[in-house]
A and B are shown apart, each in its own frame.
Chain A
């Protein structure tokens, strides 16, 4: 029973290829149409059953809260009872005129650009290196992913202990004769953002490498063999074949990195805390949101900040999609990567 129904779409594609089961035994058009219709219904049922749970879950806990934030953003609301104090666009006006918000916006921008510029090239080169046939490759892979596997809280706790003025980093510097390089890594406003970038790069580059390696796995051997037969050198092969074919992976990584930069919270919150991050110059939009929203009890204002963050992320992501990702999302997977 199930076979004749299941084959329906396939037979469609085969342009009237022989339909098995009922179709084959009854060549008149009527039963065939009926079978196909039943196949459609079954396909629709399969689609619904398979996708409904994920869609429901996603809409209820991802989309709906964002809509809710848009609603509360128009109110002065302290989190209890229904929101009644409509303030129109006042919250948004306050956000955009608050110098503190302009500051965190700038920090997020710096983090976004530096993350792409630092991590991208390094990750590609490391993935190419680690994709070679070298001894202990799987051990190496496990070890470089360690920072990514560790939680932000632990990374933050560990680094803030090490980077204290009397911490391990400064101690190590004085031991190896570089005592003049000792710095107040966390509190110096000129330095703190670079300290943060170093920690971010250390933490997330393993993820970039994991993605790039997975992308490298999907490039067929035949291409390398053909290039090798044509006498191309290792680096020529990498530059002309591997990196272009890795394009979709690199572009997806770029999007993930951008979104991650825009929502950075945990590391800054753990290492600097919401108040010190302001003076050290590392506070982010998310820190601002938590500080002004939850901790100040202004859930309406916090929601408005959330909406602003969301809109900024969306605009950047849409531009990125238009300019960079368009090819990948248009079935590039089946049509070849470049």
Chain B
């Protein structure tokens, strides 16, 4: 440690990786490769504007509008774009509809492909070796860790995103939600249900 703890300069609490990233940022800005204001916009976009609320709106629309659900099945990229969600890491979308017979679940075993425009940035567990290694060989064991136990009569269908096709799971609409508005329904769509590791509903 360079300091004995008495006179902190503003680097003293940063980890080696945080210091390295800070030095790199200064360098890239100084060399003119990066506009620091663009960095702030990029970060703000994924921290506050693009996230799983987008996907939840797609799901709620599919639950309430059969014509939209049909469009989503046939051309998910266009149907999702019609709600304003498009672009990076969501260029070619496919929607997977869960039913009592089939439960879909998405993984990227080779890296961490994820539909950013509808779900935002992936959570740590989705990118982690335990999920990437086990989702394909032990999907029911993984589901159990999320508290989900499916009947044996429901087939688990795992999708390994190996190319630039991105998958959005449309979970089943929870029971007793007939009177709810589209917005209220969107509130029931948790992020993990759109990856396929949970069912729709509030997460405890």
The judgment on whether A and B are partners is: no
